[in-house]
Copies of this chain bind each other. A is one copy, B any other.
Amino acid sequence: MFLKINNLEKFYKKDRPLIKSLDFNVNKGEIVSFIGESGSGKTTFLRCLAGLDEINDGSIELNGKILNDSKTFVESHERKIGFVFQDYPLFPHLNVIDNITFNLNSKLNGKLDNVLGLTGLKDLTRSFPHELSGGEQQRVSIARAIIRDPDLLLLDEPFSNLDSNIKLQIKNEIYSIIKNAGITTILVTHDVKESFAIADKILIFKAGVLQQYDEPFNIYCKPSNCYCAKVLGELNLLVINGKKYYLRPENINIVNSSEYKGIVEKSSFVGKEFQISANFFDEKWTLFSNNSFKEGCELSVSFKDEDLIKFDSNCENYFTQPIDRK
């Protein structure tokens, strides 16, 4: 176990714990994607890992060394943790190169070139932060973190301002850097696609509680509760004999006629196919089709019974208290 989080608790106001009791481990070299709603405490958690905030209870252990518990607090600068901040603050008095190599004194010419190339900053080395576009600033911030081979890399929405092209490129490069160097990484992102693409494990976090922590495929196929299932993709609710079942949009086929009928509400082109919102049994469903349908059209669909997803009662929503996973 490389990174061990034990019963971590964190609050800003005592009566409103933000992180109730977080408990998970990450192996060396793994990339964990941390998924949670806006304001759920993701950044706060990363700050605790980086030593910018103290935890209120529990412990954080990295590489066998306690970083923070009720007795110990290792200062941030002694932790060797790379952090790409959500709002990518850069030092205003330093240009791109100096920001990236800030506090590094060893010769790193080759490496620097490499990092500059991968983040597409070669032409901007002498620019100051305020002369950069949002995405460029973000890339400097990424470059600054990965150039120093941290023990643990924390990425807080690192790609939010990058266009798909450069994002893809950087993502792939970071992936290979991380994997080659075996840097344990925690990636906070809102884009589930991204998580799927590079994460070894996904951690779903909601209401201060870890909801599920597993490999992407497992989460997608065996979500521990309805919330987790929804996070990874849209879910259509179907009530059969008073029992609730869920269906993924891609498992629904549009057929000429069937017992399942609905009314089209909106159909919009999403590239490569149309996304259709329709009303089935008073529930709003989403499905995909290669054709567009007019608003008001009737639509018949079919699906396989094995694609129906069912949750037992305590998983119909999300967990509000930490569950014992041991």
Q: A135-B39, A270-B196, A272-B248 are in contact. Are A190 and B162 (CB under 8 A)?
A: yes
As a 0/1 sequence over residues 121 to 153 of chain A, the CB contacts with chain B under 8 angstroms (1 = contact) are 000000000011111100100000000000000
A217 to B268, CA, bound (A): 9
- Is the CB–CB distance between A220 and B269 below 8 Å? yes
Separation in Å of the A31 CB from the closest CB of chain B?
12
Chain B residue with Cβ nearest A197? B268
Q: A38-B161, A164-B192 are in contact. Are A43 and B269 (CB under 8 A)?
A: no
| A135: chain B residues within 8 A (beta carbon) | 38-39, 190
Choose among B160, B190, B197, B232 the residue that contacts A157 (Cβ–Cβ < 8 A).
B160
- Is the CB–CB distance between A271 and B232 below 8 Å? yes
Question: Does any Cβ of B come within 8 Å of A216's Cβ?
Answer: yes
- Is the CB–CB distance between A161 and B217 below 8 Å? no
A38 to B249, CA, bound (A): 33
| A197: chain B residues within 8 A (beta carbon) | 268, 270, 275
As a 0/1 sequence over residues 93 to 136 of chain A, the CB contacts with chain B under 8 angstroms (1 = contact) are 00000000000000000000000000010000000000111111
Interface of A is mostly: mixed
- Is the CB–CB distance between A39 and B160 below 8 Å? no
- Is the CB–CB distance between A193 and B157 below 8 Å? no
Q: A217-B269, A233-B272, A250-B273 are in contact. Are A39 and B190 (CB under 8 A)?
A: no
As a 0/1 sequence over residues 216 to 246 of chain A, the CB contacts with chain B under 8 angstroms (1 = contact) are 1100100000000011110000000000000
| A12: chain B residues within 8 A (beta carbon) | 131
Contacts of A248-299 to chain B: CB distance below 8 A: 248-250, 268-273, 275
A69 to B133, CA, bound (A): 25
Question: Does any Cβ of B come within 8 Å of A79's Cβ?
Answer: no
- Is the CB–CB distance between B133 and A43 below 8 Å? yes
The residue in A38, A43, A196, A248 that gathers the most chain B C-beta atoms within 10 A of its C-beta is A38
Question: Does any Cβ of B come within 8 Å of A165's Cβ?
Answer: yes
A162 to B189, CA, bound (A): 9
Given A38-B133, A39-B135, A44-B133, 18 more A-B residue pairs with CB atoms under 8 Å apart are A37-B165, A39-B120, A39-B133, A42-B133, A43-B134, A87-B87, A87-B134, A134-B157, A135-B190, A157-B161, A160-B161, A164-B191, A165-B230, A193-B271, A196-B270, A216-B269, A217-B269, A220-B271
A to B CB contacts below 8 Å, 10 in the list: A38-B136, A39-B133, A135-B190, A157-B160, A160-B161, A164-B231, A167-B190, A196-B271, A216-B269, A216-B271
Q: 7 smallest A-B Cβ distances: which pairs? A: A38-B135, A160-B160, A86-B134, A250-B272, A163-B190, A39-B133, A196-B270
